[in-house]
Amino acid sequence: MYKKVLAAIDGSDDSMKALNKAIEYVADKKDERTLIVVTARERTAIDILTIDYASDDADLEAKVMGLSQKNSEEILEKAKSTVQRLGINATYEVLVGLPIAEIISDYAKEHQIDLIVLGHRGLGKVREFFLGSVSLRVASIAEVSILIVK
């Protein structure tokens, strides 16, 4: 069975369903299993344009990235309240980089994750239209088992 379960969330409804499914995998043997909850974020085109081209403000990048970090932390806090309410210990991390699917897959490999649980659809609808879904990309490149939750 899976001993280390990674729930990759972005705050969307599907990702919160994935979190609940990951919780199910560890809940019955929480002393023997580990739950790791991550959210991944990237520099968006708006961030890049705003920071790199539209401003001479040296502090702007820190401000924009700070807002992005704050949003990621809020997503993890929501997850943490769900997990703790059920009496499960977990580790929480914000992953930063591009492409997100590779960041998640690399993290899973580095931390010897047995199962990655993701939502079918996330918040990146425009990005998904042009580049494909993160969950499908993770499923194709990860070296561990994947569970995609609808």
Strand partners, 90: 35
Phi, psi of 39 (to 5 degrees): -125, 140
Residue 15, sorted as left (phi over 0), alpha (psi -120 to 50) or beta, turns out to be alpha
What 3-state class would DSSP assign to 39? strand
Domain of 59: which CATH number? Answer: 3.40.50.620
Query: What range defines the domain where residue 18 resides?
Result: 4-149
Q: What global pTM score does this model have?
A: 0.80
Token couple for 55:
């401003």
Cα gap 125→110, rounded to integer Å:
29
Cα gap 26→135, rounded to integer Å:
21
149 CB neighbour count, 10 Å cutoff:
18
Domains in the chain, number: 1
Please give the average per-residue pLDDT across 48-66, as a whole number.
53
Band of pLDDT at residue 142, cut at 50, 70 and 90: very high
Cα gap 3→76, rounded to integer Å:
21
Please give the average per-residue pLDDT across 106-123, as a whole number.
90
pLDDT, position 123? 52
62 CB neighbour count, 10 Å cutoff:
12
Residue 138 has pLDDT above 60, yes or no: yes
Please give the average per-residue pLDDT across 9-36, as a whole number.
91
Residue 24 has pLDDT above 70, yes or no: yes
* Beta carbons of 9 and 15 less than 8 angstroms apart: yes
Share of the chain above pLDDT 70, in %: 73
